[in-house]
Copies of this chain bind each other. A is one copy, B any other.
Amino acid sequence: MFDVSPATVETALQRFFTGARLRAAAYGDHYVALWDALEVASQGGKRVRPALVLAAYDGFGGRDQSLATPVAVSFELLHTAFLIHDDVIDRDLARRGVANIAGRFNDRAVAHGAAADQAGIWAAAAAILAGDLALSEAHRALALLPVDAAMRARLLDLLDRAVFVSAAGELADVTNTAAREPLSVAEVIATLEHKTAVYSFEGPLQAGAVLAGATDAAIDALGEFGRLVGVAFQLTDDILGVYGDPAKTGKSVVADLREGKQTALIAHAGTTPAWSIIAPLMGKPDLSEAEADLARSHLTACGARNAAENLAQDHVDRAIAALDPEHIPAALRARLIDLADAAVNRVR
């Protein structure tokens, strides 16, 4: 289906890490281990962002693999950098049940005889530096693209917006934790859009389209589609984080409740009389399975589940409506509609 192939993105990433590791050898084993850990951190995801760059580029008739690949690599490494720094902020030592960069360097420090507090510093240093290295390469991949100045500036502006808005969203996600009352649904949606949808959906789609020379109307439409689909994905994630089947999603259904995560479910529940029962269960670190069941049944009974599901579907509908057939080629439009439907129809 693609003239531009996802396999080429994998090859480009492998080549980048192989080169970095060779250079790193001159600076000692720890630095090589850092690059190993960074490469592992960049793997295991679904490569959603490269796929969106390539889909948009291909969809508007782009055929130059040597241009599309670095743009796809750029957004993937931006994602890697954000995940790594997000883990530092959340003080996580694992991701998807596997030791992350901090976890690996914590263990490495202990193996080298470091005391516990020193090991924590090794862990933080490794993860912060690895994120910086991934972020730097995300910029470099675009900066070196052999395109004219106007094209380069447009692509760099998309990357700049992705970084700027994601930082705002990440900060909001953290500062929201001090709120004693549930957020409004609008606040929840804004945070999802800023923290994730812009850099994961809007940016990659628009970058692929810009690179292929799409019209401004098409690029605007893809941006709106991306923001709405990105929010729909995150809303669905949050529903699955309470009601999903962990065997299928690989996601705990008590972790979000224990953390007191500010989701659309909670935002809606906060506007209902059921909140007085649900509130004491939210953010309870030792929430039992029985208490989680209780919270779940009240979230359903008060209409929060229904409201969140409708909200996600509404975002999908609006995303599809943004894809004006006058501006978006039919084949690309069909693929994006499939993507939008998949956002809300996932394994439960």
A103 to B: closest C-beta gap in Å = 16
Chain A residues 164-219 with CB under 8 Å of chain B are 164-165, 167-172, 174-175, 177-178, 180, 194
| A172 surroundings in chain B (CB, below 8 A) | 27-28, 30-31
Evaluate contact between B164 and A23: CB separation under 8 angstroms.
yes
* Interface SS of chain A: helix
How many angstroms between the C-alpha atoms of A171 and B109 in the bound complex? 12
Chain A residues 218-259 with CB under 8 Å of chain B are none
Q: Does A125 contact B (CB under 8 A)?
A: yes
Evaluate contact between A122 and B175: CB separation under 8 angstroms.
yes
From known contacts A177-B121, A178-B109, infer whether A81 and B149 are also in contact, taking CB-CB under 8 Å: no
Evaluate contact between A34 and B171: CB separation under 8 angstroms.
yes
A141 to B: closest C-beta gap in Å = 10
How many angstroms between the C-alpha atoms of A118 and B227 in the bound complex? 29
Closest residue of chain B to A176 (Cβ to Cβ) is B30
Closest residue of chain B to A108 (Cβ to Cβ) is B175
Chain A residues 76-131 with CB under 8 Å of chain B are 81, 85, 88-91, 109, 112-114, 118, 121-122, 124-126, 128-129, 131
A37 to B: closest C-beta gap in Å = 11
Contact with B along A120-157 (1 / 0, CB 8 A): 01101110110111011001101110100100110010
Evaluate contact between A152 and B143: CB separation under 8 angstroms.
yes
Evaluate contact between A174 and B122: CB separation under 8 angstroms.
yes
Interface size of A by CB at 8 A reads: 57
Closest residue of chain B to A160 (Cβ to Cβ) is B140
Evaluate contact between B23 and A167: CB separation under 8 angstroms.
no
Q: Does A319 contact B (CB under 8 A)?
A: no
Enumerate chain A interface residues (CB-CB to B < 8 A).
20, 23-24, 27-28, 30-31, 34, 81, 85, 88-91, 109, 112-114, 118, 121-122, 124-126, 128-129, 131-133, 135-136, 139-140, 142-144, 146, 149, 152-153, 156, 160, 163-165, 167-172, 174-175, 177-178, 180, 194
4 new A-B contacts at CB < 8 Å, known A112-B175, A113-B178, A140-B156: A109-B175, A125-B171, A133-B164, A146-B149
